[in-house]
Structure 1
Amino acid sequence: MTQVTFKNSPVTLLGEQVKEGTVAPDFSVLANDLSVRTLADFEGKKKLISVVPSIDTGVCSQQTRRFNEEASGVDNAVVITISCDLPFAQSKWCAANGLDNVVTLSDHKELSFGSGYGVVMEELRLLARSVFVLDTDNKVVYMEIVPEGTDHPDYDKAVEALKSL
Structure 2
Amino acid sequence: MVGDSYGWLWNNPLTREVARCPKRVGDLIWSEKKGSSIQQVTPLLVDMLNIPSYARWFVRIAGISGATAVALGAYGAHVFYRREYPEELKQVYETANRYHFLHTLALLGVPLCKRPKLAGALIATGTAIFCGTCYYYALTGSKNVRQYTPYGGMLLIVGWLSMAL
| TM-score higher than 0.5 | no
State the TM-score, normalized to the length of structure 1. Answer: 0.23
State the TM-score, normalized to the length of structure 2. Answer: 0.23
Bigger RCO of structures 1 and 2 (CA < 8 A, at least 6 apart): 1
Higher percent of residues as helix: 2
